[in-house]
Chain A
C-alpha cells in the first residue's frame, strides 16, 4: 500500500530498512572503545543469566525447596552454604534466575501491551478520554512504585500464592507500575506522529482508525520501546526483590526468589551467617547491572545531544529525548520541544 511506503520515509534515518527489527548489530557498530566494552559486558551478563534460567534443572545440585543441611557454611557439598530453612543457597540462586527472568518477561510484555495500546488510542483520539487517562497515569506514576506494587500484589494474590499464581501476581504488580511509562512515551509520540502527512494519506485512502493506529502510527512510534524495555527490566528485578524482601512475594516452596532469601537472611546476619545474604544479593546486583549496562549504552548511543556526529532525523531525536526524560536523564527542555513541534 502506497501509504505505508510513504509512512516509512520521514522517520527512517538510515537506508537499511531492517534496522529497527534488529537493533543489536547496528548498535554494536555505532559504539566504540569503553562504550562498546560496557555494552558487551552487559550482554554477556544477561546472556549468562538466561542460560542459567533455561538449564536450571541441570545446573542446580538440589531442588529450590529441597531441605538439606541447616545453616552450614560454604563447603564442598554446599558451595555457597545453606539457609536457616535448610535450603542450598547455590541452588536457590540458580532457580531464582528462572523466577526472575519469568517475571521480567511477563511484566515487560504485559506492560508494553497495555501501555502501548492505551498510549496509541489515547494520543490518537485525544479529547476527554485522553485527558482522564493522562491524569490517571500521572497520578499512578507519582506514587512510590514499590508501594503500588505491594498494594496490587495483595489484591491479586489475595494472600495465597502457588507456583504460577505467585509469579503472575508479582508480574502483574510490576506491570501496573510500568504501564504509565509506556503510556506517556507512546502517547506523546502518537500525538506528534498523527500530524504527519502519511496519516492523512492513509485516511484519504479510506483506512479505518484501527488500521491507522496499529498499522501506520504504531510502527513509527515503537522505536523507543527497546530502550524503555531495558530500563524497565532492571527496575522489574528490583521491584520483584523488594516485594520478596518485604514478604509480599512468592512463597519459598513455589519458586526460588532472591528477595525472599534476603529477607530470611536478615535475622541471621547478627549471628554471622553472612552467606545467606551475600550470595543472593550479588545475584541481584549482577543481573540488574547487566541490564542497566545495556540500557545505559543504548541511551548513550541514541542520545543525540551527546553524539558528536549528526545525521539523524528530528523525529528520532525527539523520541529518544523523551525516553531519556522518562528515565530521568535529560534536559527538561526535551519534553517542551516535543510540545512545540506538534503545535506547529
Chain B
C-alpha cells in the first residue's frame, strides 16, 4: 500500500502505473476491433465482390496477405501500427493522411460543443441546486432529461429544420461554404482546423462563414453534453452544500452567495472534471452521429462511411486513433484530478 511512501513518491508511482495502463487498454481495443472485423470477411471481397472473377479476387487477397493465417495477419497489423503505418483504404488513400486531415475537424467540433456544454450546463446546474425542488429546479431537470433523451441526430434534424430550412438563418450542413473551404484548405501551414485557418487568413468573411457553419453542430452535440453537466453539477453542489465545512462557513456568518460561490461551488466542480474522462468517449460517439447529420467531414463521418463500405483497414486505423485519444485523454484527466483533488487515493 501507498502508506509506506511519502506523498510525492506515492503520487509519482500512481501516475506511472496509470500511464503504463494506457498500453494494454489500447492493445485490447485494437485487438478486439481487429478480430471482430476479420470475422466478417476481407476488405477486397467487400469492395470488389461480384465485379471481378473469383480467381482475380483470390490473387489480390494473396498479394495483400488476407489469405495468411489470422495470427500472422494480426502480428503484421500490430507491427505496422507500431511503426505508424496504418495502411491504405480500398480507394487507396493513406490512412495516416485521413487521420491528419479529418482528426482536426472532429477536434474542432468537440471544442465548440464543449464550449456550449460548459456555458449551458454549469450555470443551469448551479441554479437547479440552489433552487432545489422548486420550480426552477424542476424546469432545469426536465430540460436536462429531455436533452439526454433526445438522440443527438434528432436534435440535429430539428435544429436544421428550424434554423436552416424554415428561417434560413444558418447553413444546413458542412464545415464551410465551398468557396471558403477551398480557400481555407490552401492556407499554409494547413492546420485543417478551419477557425484557425480563417483567423490566420485575416479575412472576416471567412471567419463569419466558419462560425456560422459551426453553430448548429456545436449546439446539437453540446446540448447533449450539457444535459450531463447539469445533472452532475446539480447533484454535486447539493451534496457539497450539506457538507460540514459549508455549515461552518454559514455559522461564521458568511453570506449565502459567498458560501455557494467560494466554498461549495469549486469543490462541486471537481467531480465534473473526473467525469470528463468518460465524457470524451461519449462525445466521440456523439460526434459520429453529429458529423453524419451535418455532413461535417471529420473522423466520425468518415468512420461511418468506411464502415458502410466494409473497408476494415480504414476502420481499424480510425478506431486505433480513437482508442489512443480516449486512453490518453482519460489519463490526462486522472492526472489533473490527482493534482487538484486531495481525496484521490493512490
Q: Which A residues are within 8 Å of any B CB, using their own CB? A: 33-35, 38, 135-136, 138-140, 142-147, 150-152, 154-155, 158-159, 234, 238, 241-242, 245-248, 259, 262, 265-266, 269-270, 272, 274, 277-278, 281, 284-286, 288-289, 292-293, 296, 303, 305-306, 328-333, 336, 339-340
Contacts and interface: CB of A to CB of B under 8 A. Distances in A.
B304 interface: yes
B157 A270 contact: no
A245 B40 contact: no
Contacts of B258: none
Nearest to A274: B161
Contacts of A286: 149
11 contacts: A139-B24, A142-B281, A151-B37, A155-B39, A262-B154, A266-B293, A292-B148, A331-B239, A331-B271, A332-B341, A332-B343
Contacts of A269: 157, 160-161, 165
A289 to B, nearest CB: 4
A158 B40 contact: yes
A135 B292 CA distance: 32
Contacts of B274: 332
Contacts of A265: 157
Contacts of B148: 234, 288, 292
Contacts of B154: 262, 277, 281, 284-285
Given A151-B37, A155-B39, A272-B165, A328 B24 contact: no
B197 interface: no
Contacts of A238: 151
A293 B206 CA distance: 44
Contacts of B25: 135, 138-139, 142
Interface string B299-318: 00001100110100001000
Interface residues of B, number: 68
Nearest to B26: A139
Nearest to B235: A329
B267 to A, nearest CB: 10
Contact of A154 (B32, B165, B310): B310
A250 B36 CA distance: 20
A259 B152 CA distance: 11
Nearest to B275: A328
A245 B281 contact: no
B149 A139 contact: no
A145 B28 contact: no
Contacts of B146: 285, 289
A135 B288 contact: no
A155 B40 CA distance: 5
B153 interface: yes
Given A151-B32, A234-B148, A328-B228, 12 more contacts: A139-B32, A144-B326, A146-B289, A147-B303, A154-B307, A155-B37, A155-B39, A241-B153, A262-B157, A277-B161, A331-B239, A333-B343
Contact of B281 (A144, A259, A340): A144
A245 B149 contact: no
B153 A242 contact: yes
Interface in B303-346: 303-304, 307-308, 310, 315, 319, 322-323, 326-327, 330, 337, 341, 343-345
Contacts of B271: 330-332
Scoring A135, A150, A284, A328 by chain B CB atoms within 10 A of each residue's CB, the highest score goes to A328
B232 interface: yes
Contacts of A277: 154, 157-158, 161
Interface in B129-182: 133, 138, 141, 145-146, 148-151, 153-154, 157-158, 160-161, 164-165, 172
Given A154-B40, A246-B304, A289 B149 contact: yes
Contacts of A292: 145, 148-149
Contacts of A33: 133
Nearest to A340: B345
Interface string B216-234: 0000000000001001100
A136 B292 CA distance: 30
Contacts of B288: 144, 146-147, 246
Nearest to B238: A306
Given A147-B322, A277-B154, A281-B150, A330 B161 contact: no
B259 interface: no
A266 B157 contact: yes
Contacts of A145: 281-282, 285
Contacts of B33: 151
Interface in B72-126: none
A140 B32 contact: yes
A284 B326 contact: no
B29 interface: yes
B133 A246 contact: no
A336 B345 contact: yes
Contacts of B39: 155
Contacts of B323: 142-143
A328 B308 CA distance: 32
B33 to A, nearest CB: 6
B278 interface: yes
Nearest to A138: B25
A278 B161 CA distance: 9
